[in-house]
Chain A
Amino acid sequence: MVELSIIREIAPSAQIAPDAVIGPYCVVGPHVIVGPRSVLTRRVAVSGHTRIGSDNIFDEGCVIGGEPQDLKYAGGATMVIIGHRNRFGQRVTVHVGTEMGGFVTRIGDDNRLMDGCHVAHDCYVDDRTCLGCNVLLAGHIHVHSGAVIEDMAGVHHYVTIGRSARVGASTPVRRDVPPWTVFNGTEFDWAPPAVRGVHEEGLKHSGLSRDEQKELRRALSELFEDETALQTKIEQLVNLGVEGEVAELCEFCQRSLQGVYGRQRELYRGKMPPEAEKYLPPERRVDIRRPLT
């Protein structure tokens, strides 16, 4: 095989697995860890305290571990943690966390982030999600496993996207999206963003039994037929004694209602989110126990 010389810049202290591939014009910073078989194709910049697991692929123009666009950030050693088998399209940007927001931006396993996606500071993207082209996640967002966000959707700070939910293209998401639902709409008054039904595709691939799916479908149609008196409807359901997925759904909606503007994570504004403890590597957990200044 012809061994071509590749022009790239890798800091000497970066920890790159021997079978990871760093392509031409890539720049890898001094505190970066790249796991086995991960591929930085071409012109990918990875900086900050970034840990990349195994079998990830980053296409041209990705910038991972950049400074957050939060004006309060003052250069702390905050992190990006990326799991395994994720596929990043071209021009994807992922920023490190902030001290106030929990120190870490985390992307789980088996996610697909298409071209131009942006994952801002302190976001948690769980497993098996799909983010379409140019999806913008503002800060402090939690996208649960299996969620699908279609092209050019913009998600507001502190929003939670529930498990296996689906967000339509070009939808401005300003409040929490309940799990298993389809949420779409536009800026226009005749079709405001709202829950529009059950995400059948999500249910199909959920691994839930037929009965569980039936229960969920019934609960979802009951709750979101129209969203008036959601609180009462949840209470009625809970009083009937729900369990499993339906109970989780009720709890999610309840929390969203208790949040600010329908966003449950707003309650973590200026506080340490509970996920920080879980996602930070053990040796860095000491950071979050320090009082915030």
Chain B
Amino acid sequence: MVDISRNATVEKSAKLAEDVRVGPFSYIGPHVKIGRGCVIENNVTIVGKTTLGARTHVFPMAVVGAANGGEEGECIIGNANAIREHVTIYAGAANPTRIGHDNLIMIGSHVGAGATVGDHGIFANCTSIGPEAAVEDYVRTSGFCAIEAGVTVGAYTFIAGYAGINHDAPPFAMVHGFPMRVRGVNRENLRRCGFGDDDIRALKAAFRELFSDTSDQPDASVLNKLAKSASANAHVRRLVEFLRRHPVPEKED
């Protein structure tokens, strides 16, 4: 049975699965769909054309699917996400805002309109993901980092605290600072995600060749060499593919 607090407001046309819980003083808009096992705590606002997958937990004071600049938009959120206190997720008007499965979005974080977030991400407090940005799977961020509008962050990448991601961040990396710099391979996260020692070693070797202390501009000849070598590790191939698709912009002087 749906468990809606007598102090909550749920619009008649909202579609709630049968075991959804809605806490007091929450508001569920008319075009919202909420999947099985979702828990909406107190003082939450969910509006717009928002779809919540199964077992998603929305904590107090979060706002999901709010219109950005007055335009009604769409927001599609997958299964088993935790949307913590004071998080704001805007709905995208042109493209829907999409969040995958099993993400932990910590207190005070922000997901901009039309942004795409993959699966299994952990976003620390006050992470701000800009509008139309794309974040791939297994990304981890530290506090106060900002991902600029339209930027892509590759899978398994760790973003250090206070970093400003102003251009595309490669996968498997640790990135920091502003302007963004690549610091090395995100060994700890890769190990936790089940990467073997060989994979990590191969990625480390590739990173050493591609990025230098002074430049994030991948060496073009190295990139071509790695792309051609058929024996390359599958993850290295993925890294090379990403770097070819997302070239680092030349430095503006």
Contacts and interface: CB of A to CB of B under 8 A. Distances in A.
B46 interface: no
Interface residues of B, number: 30
Contacts of A66: 59-60, 84-85
Nearest to B41: A45
Contacts of A67: 59
B43 A71 contact: no
A283 interface: no
Nearest to B163: A187
Given A61-B61, A187-B163, A69 B106 contact: yes
B86 A69 contact: no
A260 to B, nearest CB: 14
B63 to A, nearest CB: 11
Nearest to A171: B162
Task: Decide if the interface of chain B is mainly helix, strand, loop or mixed.
Answer: loop
A170 interface: yes
Contacts of B24: 9, 27
A61 B62 CA distance: 10
A263 to B, nearest CB: 15
B212 interface: no
A116 interface: yes
A116 B108 CA distance: 8
Interface in A129-187: 134, 136, 138, 152, 154, 170, 172, 186-187
B61 A91 contact: yes
Interface string B88-123: 000000000000000010111000000000000000
A268 interface: no
A136 B143 contact: yes
Nearest to A186: B162
Interface of B: 5, 7, 23-25, 41-43, 59-61, 84-86, 104, 106-108, 125-126, 142-144, 160-163, 176-178
Top 9 closest pairs, chain A to chain B, by CB: A154-B143, A9-B24, A27-B42, A45-B60, A63-B85, A63-B60, A136-B143, A187-B162, A172-B161
